């Protein structure tokens, strides 16, 4: 074990170790079976010692949720960043495939984040920011298209959509996307995660044979729907 230089560093290191250990156990057992005592045992420590770093189990879970959002977000950003900005089709495919692949590789973390929320748990602000990252990747691809192919906003559509959307928020990330396409965009976002959840949680059993192929099919259609290729 390396000797940490300062207490602050040691503390940060300890927090990382706890989270890493917890993540390891999470991947084996799932969120509801994650036990603070087992994390401590795994680290050759007392459970009470962990309470110096996380006030309770929920706080640890929140930290894991935050990490999961950021990991998924960063993975998607990185994967998509490699593709030429003008190649909208490939960007869309790469981004959505990365989301699915990440979910399959981290099923319990995906479930933690996109499955049923912990009862009584309310997402703190930082979580919301982290949660936005994946979504923004998809949004940026769509927006880039309409930035390059400017489309006039239809006032009546704008007005109608503004009644059920938080238009200001959506336009913060997709300023060039007309209302009509915002609706389709949010729909595509919903469907991508709906797909992944259905696949992961077993609802496609007896319906889908080749998930990979069907996912590509769906995602290609969605790309057409939102008008980016």
Partner DNA sequence: ACAAAAAGAGAGCAGTGCTCTTGCTTTTTG
Partner DNA sequence: CAAAAAGCAAGAGCACTGCTCTCTTTTTGT
Provide the binding-site residues for a second copy, judged by CB under 8 A: 29-33, 108, 111-112, 114-120, 123, 128, 131, 163-166, 169-170, 183, 186-187, 190-191, 193-195, 197-198, 201-203, 205-211, 213-214, 217-218, 221
Residue 58 binds DNA, judged by CB under 7 A: yes
User: For tokens 């790309």, what's the residue?
Assistant: 223
Sorted by sequence, the CB contacts under 8 Å of residue 1 that are 6+ apart come out as: none
Binding status of residue 11 toward DNA by CB under 7 A? yes
Q: At 121, give phi and psi (nearest 5°).
A: -90, 130
What's the min distance (Å) between Cβ of 140 and a second copy? 15
Within 10 angstroms of residue 129's Cβ, the number of other Cβ atoms is 13
In whole angstroms, give the CA distance from residue 126 to residue 80: 24
Q: Taking CB under 7 A as the rule, does residue 122 contact DNA?
A: no
Element (DSSP H or E) covering residue 197: helix 179-200
Segment contacting DNA by CB under 7 A, of 10-18, 139-147, 167-175, 179-187 = 10-18
Give the sign of the dihedral formed by CA 149, CA 218, CA 130, CA 72.
Answer: negative
In the complex, the smallest distance separating the C-beta of residue 1 from DNA, rounded to whole angstroms, is 11
Phi, psi of 118 (to 5 degrees): -55, 135
If one asks whether residue 52 binds DNA (CB under 7 A), the answer comes out as yes
Closest CB to a second copy among 8 and 209?
A: 209
Q: Which does 10 bind (CB under 5 to 8 A by kind): a second copy, DNA, none?
A: DNA
End-to-end Cα separation, the chain, in angstroms: 53
Closest distance of CB 66 from DNA, Å: 17
Nearer to a second copy, 43 or 208 (CB): 208
**Which residues are CB-neighbours of 26 under 8 A, at least 6 positions away?**
34, 64, 108, 109, 112
User: Given the rule CB under 7 A, which residues bind DNA?
Assistant: 3-7, 10-11, 14, 34-38, 44-49, 51-53, 55-58
């Amino acid at each position: 074990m390396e000797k940490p230089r300062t207490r602050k560093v040691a503390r940060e290191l300890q927090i990382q170790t706890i989270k890493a250990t917890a993540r390891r156990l999470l991947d084996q057992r799932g969120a509801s079976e994650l036990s603070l005592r087992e994390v401590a045992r795994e680290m050759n420590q007392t459970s009470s010692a962990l309470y110096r770093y996380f006030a309770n189990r929920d706080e640890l879970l929140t930290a894991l949720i935050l990490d999961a959002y950021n990991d998924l977000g960063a993975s998607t950003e990185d994967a998509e960043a490699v593709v030429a900005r003008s190649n909208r089709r490939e960007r869309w495919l790469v981004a959505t495939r990365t989301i699915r692949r990440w979910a399959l590789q981290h099923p319990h973390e995906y479930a933690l984040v996109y499955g049923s929320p912990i009862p009584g748990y309310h997402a703190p602000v930082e979580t919301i920011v982290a949660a936005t990252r994946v979504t923004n990747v998809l949004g940026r691809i769509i927006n880039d298209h309409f930035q390059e192919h400017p489309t006039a906003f239809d006032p009546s559509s704008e007005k109608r959509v503004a009644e059920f959307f938080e238009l200001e928020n959506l336009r913060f990330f997709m300023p060039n996307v007309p209302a009509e396409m915002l609706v389709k965009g949010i729909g595509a976002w919903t469907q991508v995660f709906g797909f992944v959840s259905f696949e992961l949680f077993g609802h496609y059993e007896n319906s889908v044979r080749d998930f990979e192929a069907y996912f590509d099919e769906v995602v290609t259609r969605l790309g057409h729907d939102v008008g980016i290729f």
